[in-house]
Amino acid sequence: MRIGVLTGGGDCPGLNAVIRAVVRRAEVGFGDELVGIADGWRGLLEGRTLPLDVERCRGILPRGGTILGTSRTNPYAAPDGPARVLATAAELGLDAIVAIGGEDTLGVAHRLAAEGLAVVGVPKTIDNDLAGTELTFGFHTAVQTATEAIDRLHTTAESHDRVIVCEVMGRHAGWIATYAGIAGGATAILVPEEPFDLDEVCEVLRVRHAKGRYASIVVVAEGAVPKEGTLTLAAAELDAFGHPRLGGIAAVLAPEIERRTGIETRMTILGHIQRGGSPTAFDRVLATRFGVAAAEAVHDGAFDQMVALRAGQIVRVPLAEALAAPKHLDPELLHGVADWFRG
């Protein structure tokens, strides 16, 4: 068979490990020919490909990023987009496509499958908010990076009796904030799923610091929002989404916490370092298993499906099911665990 491979959406540690595994399993195991598609769906719109074989995948396992490039291009937003994608796939002689991406990329895959494209999905989201799979690769790497940063913030906060607000990724989901917050021993964890009450947070900080010299870390997901009426964000500072224009939510919270508690407060915004770097061993293994399973799904003709992790096993899940709704943060984690570590 002749199989195209593409990566779409934001980049994520482990993409290269998936690509390498698809290629290894398909070329060595099935004798397939592989075609690299450049920059996600855009590559099929524009007919741009890259040579892809076992030799070209040497050494990429531990590397972040994606050797295929990526984009957020949606063919359904382009004139004649879907038709051009199908035409390019036919011209390239592709029998199937492995699409590695998140909600958007897999949403396109699902719609194109309905139009006849033979496509297998591999779920990718650093935010871990994709349904149908217990975990996605890249998530643990992002959590590890954020946790190491929080570990560092602890030692500096301790020396100065400070609060430090640490902003992590998560526009719609609090998974990274919750995991990194628990792993980093945060005093408060603010997530998009539950509007936060800043007075409550400040009260916890006041009680804690009244007991003596302590470092306190407040982990906040970039998409966390205050409970109505508890924190006014000056209009001038907001972008179109109601988030602070410069800095982020942390840039608003830090001075406000200092004002309300009287405790010196600093902030840090981790940003893109959470998407970069070498994937953790865990993510490399998960990404490799996903890649192997995707190549096998192609040979089983299991199209319009994605590979997924459930109870330690790799399974196949219809794309429709995975795309039905985002995976909300487990409340057991947020309250059952994090609550006891606030004081």
Annotated binding residues: 10, 103, 125-127, 162, 169-171, 222, 266, 272-275
- The CA–CA distances, whole Å, from 91 to 56, 103, 141, 299 equal 23, 27, 38, 21
Nearest to 271 by CA among 180, 157, 174, 145: 145
Residue nearer to its own copies on the CB measure, 155 or 232: 155
Alpha helix (H) residue ranges in 196-301: 198-210, 249-261, 281-299
Residues with a catalytic annotation lie at: 127
Rounded to a whole number of angstroms, the minimum distance from the CB of residue 88 to its own copies is 20
Residues annotated as binding site for diphosphate?
Answer: 10
Q: Are 164 and 268 in contact (CB under 8 A)?
A: yes
Rounded to a whole number of angstroms, the minimum distance from the CB of residue 87 to its own copies is 25
Q: Are 249 and 195 in contact (CB under 8 A)?
A: no
Residues annotated as binding site for Mg(2+)?
Answer: 103
Distance CA 180, CA 148 (A): 9
The conformation of residue 69, written as its DSSP 8-state character, comes to: -
Q: Are 126 and 175 in contact (CB under 8 A)?
A: no
Q: Are 61 and 92 in contact (CB under 8 A)?
A: no
E-assigned strand segments in 179-256: 188-190, 216-221
Residue nearer to its own copies on the CB measure, 171 or 213: 213
Residue nearer to its own copies on the CB measure, 100 or 117: 100
Residue nearer to its own copies on the CB measure, 160 or 227: 160
Rounded to a whole number of angstroms, the minimum distance from the CB of residue 303 to its own copies is 21
Q: How many CB atoms lie within 10 A of CB 308?
A: 24
Q: Are 101 and 137 in contact (CB under 8 A)?
A: no
Rounded to a whole number of angstroms, the minimum distance from the CB of residue 115 to its own copies is 28
Distance CA 305, CA 300 (A): 11
Rounded to a whole number of angstroms, the minimum distance from the CB of residue 149 to its own copies is 5
Residue nearer to its own copies on the CB measure, 210 or 311: 311
